[in-house]
């Protein structure tokens, strides 16, 4: 069997693997180090819509944003509140655009190789990783991995819920959408086992992605999602429409202690490194920040530190407990949060960029009794 060495190997060419590769090859200290991305699954063929908020400063992906909104809306039982989120903006990248962009980067960079070979095993011996693939042995000193085992995460934690969503990208027969604002959460839909809300990304007045999302332990059926979705579209826009695409997924919401390093000693990235915020399912921007950090560590020959558990883990756990054991109270708290706190402060808090003082101000506006009960 042939053995090939690369300076850097990335397992998984998804959102995290591609972003990390991009940060390596655009780093000021990059000198053409060879990079191999190994992904057996061709996940890039599964269409996704990635949204995230960011400040107006330069964003690494601003040239490929498909749409950007300056305002966000939240739907309450008796009204919808639309607000500007300055200094943030909410942007959307289609996974197709994201992967085309990165595959172009690979095409024009001879030091980067992308392969769909199956990874059979990997281990570390004397500071060198040996990766057994279906086509041979790969060696490297710097291994990054987005591989993870969903069953292991589910079985090793007592707080495990799912963010399930199902949606349609639709074209309507007449202009109906308010294209100036994305709807982050519309709580007016039917509440069943968990906390449910609708999510609307209006790309134009006649074109939108509309999703029904549930935070809950049990699996929702496609029939359930479709019936809620149909009712939601009918009651809000009274129009005929054509379904262009369906998007469906289930993202773990858990207090599982993801680690910086895998059992084999590789540096974990993406979902495998806990980059999915447990209480929101957002990961894109956290992955961007982490990729920048990891590329800096590589070029400065620093070993990234193991994660320390911050107070944000504690807040996440409290909300997960409420979502699991008292979903009606969790719904009430989420609604109070968006009613009483300005959206930009909520976004800063979710980004884990707030100070302790700012968090105290935010918590002071929420019903405290329910949180205190969870602590004890």
Residue nearest to ligand FAD (CB): 14
Nearest distance in Å: CB 361, ligand FAD: 26
- Shortest reach from residue 216's CB to ligand FAD, in Å: 16
Query: Which residue's entry shows tokens 């400065």?
Result: 300
What are the Cα distances from residue 376, in Å, to 51, 318, 371? 36, 10, 9
The residues near 235 (Cβ < 8 Å, ≥ 6 apart) are none
Q: Which of 133, 196, 213, 271 touches ligand FAD by CB under 6 A?
A: 271
Question: Which of 43, 66, 83, 132: binder of ligand FAD (CB under 6 A)?
Answer: 43
Site string for ligand FAD, 216-245 (x = CB under 6 A): ------------------------------
Residue 270 or 278 with smaller CB distance to ligand FAD: 270
Q: Which is nearer to ligand FAD, 7 or 247 (CB)?
A: 247
**Contact between 41 and ligand FAD per CB under 6 A:** yes
Find the shortest distance in angstroms from Cβ 122 to ligand FAD.
11
- Would you call 25 helix, strand, or coil by DSSP? helix
Give whichever of 53 and 315 is closer to ligand FAD, judged by the CB atom.
53
Interacting span for ligand FAD (CB under 6 A) from 38-46, 58-66, 318-326, 359-367? 38-46
Contacts of 21 (CB under 8 A, 6+ apart): 10, 13, 35, 37, 102, 105, 106, 112
Number of residues that bind ligand FAD (CB under 6 A): 29
319/255 Cα distance (integer angstroms): 11
Burial group, residue 113, by CB count within 10 angstroms (0-12, 13-18, 19+): middle
SS3 320: helix
CA-closest candidate to residue 342, choices 57, 34, 81, 65:
81
Considering only 204-212, 268-276, 328-336, 363-371, which stretch makes contact with ligand FAD by CB under 6 A?
Answer: 268-276
Q: What tokens appear for 201 in the block?
A: 């990304």
How far, CA to CA in Å, does 53 sit from each of 44, 77, 83, 223, 328? 22, 25, 14, 32, 27
The answer to whether residues 354 and 348 touch, using CB atoms and an 8 Å cutoff, is: yes
Which range binds ligand FAD by CB under 6 A, 67-75, 122-130, 270-278, 361-369?
270-278
Q: What whole-number distance in Å separates Cα of residue 307 and Cα of residue 258?
A: 8
The answer to whether 258 contacts ligand FAD (rule: CB under 6 A) is no
Candidate list 6, 8, 9, 14; residue touching ligand FAD; CB under 6 A: 14
Give the SS3 label for residue 219. Answer: coil
Dihedral (CA of 39, 44, 46, 48) sign: positive
Query: Which of the residues 136 through 155 are near ligand FAD (CB under 6 A)?
Result: 146-149
How many whole angstroms separate alpha carbon 203 and alpha carbon 167? 15
Of residues 195 and 329, the one with the C-beta less far from ligand FAD: 195
**Closer residue to ligand FAD (CB): 40 or 366:** 40
Nearer to ligand FAD, 169 or 329 (CB): 169
User: Are 13 and 103 a contacting pair, CB within 8 Å?
Assistant: no
Report how far residue 302's alpha carbon sits from residue 318's, in angstroms, rounded to the nearest whole number. Answer: 34
- Residue 10 touches ligand FAD, criterion: CB under 6 A: no
Closer Cβ to ligand FAD, 188 or 213, answer by number:
213
Residue 211 in tokens: 């999703």
Torsion on CA atoms 133, 136, 140, 146, rounded to nearest 10: -10
- Using CB under 6 A as the binding rule, the residues of this chain from 45 to 84 that contact ligand FAD are 48-52
**Which residues, numbered 282-311, are part of the site for ligand FAD (CB under 6 A)?**
282-284, 287
Residues 146-205 that bind ligand FAD (CB under 6 A): 146-149
Binding site for ligand FAD (CB under 6 A): 12, 14-17, 39-41, 43, 48-52, 146-149, 247, 249, 251, 270-271, 276, 281-284, 287
């Amino acid at each position: 069997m042939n053995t090939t060495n690369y300076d850097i190997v990335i397992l998984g060419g998804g959102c995290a693997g591609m972003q990390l590769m991009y940060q390596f090859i655009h780093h000021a200290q990059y000198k053409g180090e060879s990079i191999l991305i190994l992904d057996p699954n061709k996940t890039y063929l599964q269409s996704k819509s990635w949204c995230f908020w960011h400040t107006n400063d330069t964003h690494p992906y601003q040239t490929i944003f498909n749409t950007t909104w300056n305002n966000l809306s939240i739907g309450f039982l008796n009204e919808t509140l639309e607000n500007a989120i300055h200094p943030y903006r909410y942007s959307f990248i289609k996974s197709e655009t994201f992967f085309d962009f990165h595959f172009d980067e690979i095409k024009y960079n001879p030091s980067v190789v992308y392969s769909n070979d199956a990874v059979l095993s990997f281990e570390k011996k004397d500071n060198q990783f040996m990766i057994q693939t279906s086509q041979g042995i790969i060696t490297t000193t710097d291994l990054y991995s987005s591989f993870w085992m969903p069953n292991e995460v589910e079985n090793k934690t007592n707080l495990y819920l799912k963010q399930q969503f199902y949606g349609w990208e639709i074209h309507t027969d007449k202009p109906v959408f308010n294209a100036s604002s994305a709807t982050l959460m519309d709580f007016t839909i039917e509440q069943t086992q968990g906390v449910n809300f609708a999510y609307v990304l209006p790309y134009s007045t006649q074109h939108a992605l509309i999703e029904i999302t549930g935070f809950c332990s049990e699996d929702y059926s496609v029939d359930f999602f479709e019936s809620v979705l149909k009712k939601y579209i009918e009651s809000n826009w009274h129009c005929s429409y054509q379904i262009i695409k369906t998007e469906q997924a289930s993202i773990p919401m858990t207090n599982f202690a993801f680690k910086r390093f895998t059992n084999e000693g590789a540096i974990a990235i993406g979902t495998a490194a806990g980059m999915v915020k447990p209480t929101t399912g957002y990961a894109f921007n956290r992955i961007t920040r982490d990729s920048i950090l990891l590329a800096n560590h590589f070029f400065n020959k620093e070993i990234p530190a193991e994660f320390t558990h911050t107070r944000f883990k504690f807040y996440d756990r409290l909300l997960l407990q409420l979502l699991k054991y008292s979903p009606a109270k969790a719904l009430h708290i989420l609604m109070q949060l968006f009613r009483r706190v300005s959206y930009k402060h909520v976004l800063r808090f979710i980004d884990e960029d707030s100070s302790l003082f700012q968090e105290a101000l935010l918590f002071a506006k929420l019903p405290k009794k329910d949180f205190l009960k969870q602590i004890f």
